[in-house]
Structure 1
Amino acid sequence: MVSKSTIDPEVIEKIISSLETLDFGTVQITVHDSQITQIEKIEKHRFSLKRKESK
């Protein structure tokens, strides 16, 4: 396991920012050779279903 001190502080800030600005969704971190190479943020927007009245 990589210790926290070896992770670039800019990368940590990006991860934190992604989490703080996400209401619903996923933050995925991709690692190659023990190094973070990619961060993906997938947002989901949920809308309530409004039923139409029957005629």
Structure 2
Amino acid sequence: MFAIIKSGTQQFKVSEGDHIKVSLISSPEGSKVSFDDVIMAFEDDESLVSKV
């Protein structure tokens, strides 16, 4: 499973456990954060969620 998420003006393709670098957010470096702006989520070849 993977998802396309948005952080600020950037979009990322992520899977559970991935580490990404994002522009300024108010959390200590290395901390776990969650992203509510999920553009799409996929499992295998099927789209599970879609937002416009």
TM bucket (normalised to shorter chain) is under 0.3
- Indicate the structure with greater strand content: 2
Bigger radius of gyration, 1 or 2?
A: 1
- Indicate the structure with greater helix content: 1
TM-score of the superposed pair, with normalisation by structure 1: 0.19
Tell which has more relative contact order, 1 or 2 (C-alpha 8 A, sep 6+).
2
